[in-house]
Amino acid sequence: MAAVTVGARGSDQTEIVFGVDTHKDCHVVVVLSMLGTVLGSRSFATTAAGYRSLLAWVETMGRINRAGVEGTGSYGAGLARSLRAAGVQVVEVNRPNRAMRRRRGKSDTVDAEAAARAVLGGEATVVPKRGDGPVEAIRILKIAKDSAAKARVQAINQLRAVLVNAEPAVREPLEKLTLPQLVARCAALHHDGPNPAEAAVTDTLGRLSRRIQFLEAEIGDARRQMTVLVQQTAPDLLQVNGIGSAVCPSS
């Protein structure tokens, strides 16, 4: 994402705050003076060009004090990073003010204004996580690892279910094997034999076992990357009993 460049903020400019109601495709912005007067509202695309346009438009109204952004861990993450890169103080706004919603109803503009007023009134003060460091990298890798682990369990259960219903000639040589041995043996199986059902069983055992092997490699690779990041970020952490790279913080 291209960095957003902040224009001149002269000392003679009116100080302002703005709030952002974030969405997947567009963000709605409302700008307030420090006295709470609405100075303007507009929507912008969730693109690098949209972020630049948003900031340039806001700066035409005054000198930015702070920005209240909803969803800085999801739809607002990209905008929050761009604003911080431009030197804007970003404040996390969890949800619109309920009293304002009751008075004025639900709309994106109302929510953006509520975000700005939450910052202006001191109700929102939390600085969001940056989302661009090693902890965020670990969190993303853990998503991939957990997804692969879930798929591996599913494939193992399917492998065993197919094996239970297999013909004795196929099942008996395999049913006493340990799981690693079973996966290794079945991974070499392919479609074979004149009986279509038996051939399908053999082929499916092979497919599922090769899938399990692929997922195990994927899990191992993610764990290795997570271990490197943990060692770089908190080198003493892995020395603590009961803590490993597979159980990393998700924050």
Q: Is residue 26 included in any domain, yes or no?
A: yes
Domain enclosing residue 219, as ranges: 134-237
**CA–CA separation, 90 and 119 (whole Å):** 10
> How many other C-beta atoms are found inside a 10 Å radius of the C-beta of residue 216?
16
Q: Which two tokens stand for residue 134?
A: 């090693």
Classify residue 5: in a domain, yes or no: no
Q: Does the structure show a pLDDT above 80 at 9? A: no
Q: Report residue 129 as tokens.
A: 């996580």
Please, how many CA atoms are within 13 Å of residue 165, restricted to the half-sphere of its CB? Answer: 11
The answer as to whether 245 is a domain residue is: no
Clarify whether residues 100 and 159 are in a common domain.
no
CA distance 101 to 28: 16
Distance CA 108, CA 43 (A): 9
How far is Cα of residue 155 from the mean position of the Cα atoms in its chain? 25
pLDDT of residue 3: 35
Q: What is the pLDDT of residue 89?
A: 92
Q: Average pLDDT of 76-104?
A: 78
Task: Please report the pLDDT score of residue 100 as a whole number.
Answer: 54
Using one digit for the tens of pLDDT, what is the confidence trace for 134-167?
A: 888 888 899 999 999 999 999 999 999 999 988 8
At 54, phi and psi to the nearest 5? Answer: -60, -50
CB 203, CB 189: distance < 8 Å = yes
Instruction: Give domain status of residue 125, yes or no.
Output: no
Single residue among 91, 120, 149 that ends a domain in this structure = 120
Per-residue pLDDT, 14 = 87
Q: Give residue 197's pLDDT band: very low, low, confident or very high (50, 70, 90).
A: confident
Question: Is-contact 19 121, C-beta < 8 A?
Answer: no
Within-domain flag for 233: yes
Mean pLDDT on 69-86: 89
Specify the higher pLDDT residue, 184 or 230. 184
Cα–Cα distance between 168 and 148 in angstroms, integer?
Answer: 32
**CA–CA separation, 186 and 203 (whole Å):** 9
Do residues 107 and 147 both lie within one domain?
no
Residue 184: pLDDT band (50, 70, 90) is very high
The pTM is what? 0.63
CATH number of the domain at 82, please.
3.30.420.10
What value does the CA radius of gyration of the chain take, rounded to a whole number of Å? 27
Tell me: pLDDT of 1 over 50.
Answer: no
Reported as a single tens digit per residue, the pLDDT across 106-122 is: 688 999 999 999 999 88
Which of 48-52, 160-164, 184-188, 197-201 is predicted least confidently?
197-201
